[in-house]
Amino acid sequence: MTEDRQSKPAAAGPLPEINTGALPKVIGYMLRLSQLLVYQAFQRAVNDETIRPPQFSILEIISCNPGVRPSDVAASIGVSRANLVPLLAELEKSGFLVRGSDRKDGRAQALHLTPAGEAQLTRLHEVVARLEDRLAEYLGPGGRETLLRLLHDLNTGAAKA
């Protein structure tokens, strides 16, 4: 048995000996490193392989918009309608949501969370709140609010372009 526990999960982050040149000044590069680390932290905190960030987002959006259509959920989280299908199917199979039918539009579905889905979402809110508080410690006083505002401005600006 050679084991060889190599090929680490891409822990990311410039090594001290390596000169990353202009990359630390490139917004896209820094966004990628940050997202990688935050996603990994989310997975460790949630401790459930089947609940990844998109699943959390989907549950939140359905909870806040009872009867919402899959199309609008997809647009809200930046996933195509086609790729949302297996995600919804998995959440339905887990018993977290049900698909009703839209009275006004025979083509559309009306999504609702089950009590189990709401309970899962409540748990996720607690886990995420603790994680975000820990991240906020790294950002200094007011850092979290500033970061969220800047990302919001970036999103609304870039979306129009």
Residues 85 to 144 in contact with DNA, rule: CB under 7 A: 85, 87-88, 99, 105-109
How many Cβ atoms sit within 10 Å of the Cβ of residue 65? 14
Residue 64 binding its own copies, by CB under 8 A:
yes
Asked if 120 and 96 count as a contact pair (C-beta separation under 8 A), the reply is: yes
Map residues 79-118 to x or -, x wherever contact with its own copies holds by CB under 8 A: xxxxx-----------------------------------
Nearer to its own copies, 29 or 108 (CB): 29
Could you tell me the two tokens for 100?
């009703």
Based on the shown chain and the rule CB under 8 A, indicate whether residue 4 belongs to the binding site for its own copies: no
What's the chain's Rg over C-alpha atoms?
19
Query: Quick one: which segment of 3-11, 22-30, 112-120, 128-136 binds DNA (CB under 7 A)?
Result: 3-11
Under 8 Å CB-to-CB from 141, ≥6 apart: which residues?
none
Give the residue with the Cβ less far from DNA, 37 or 147: 37
CA–CA dist 147, 155 (Å, integer): 12
**Any idea which residue has 């919001």 for tokens?**
152
What would the x/- binding string for its own copies be over residues 41 to 60, using CB under 8 A? xx----------x---x--x
Please list the residues that pair with 100 across neighbouring strands. 110
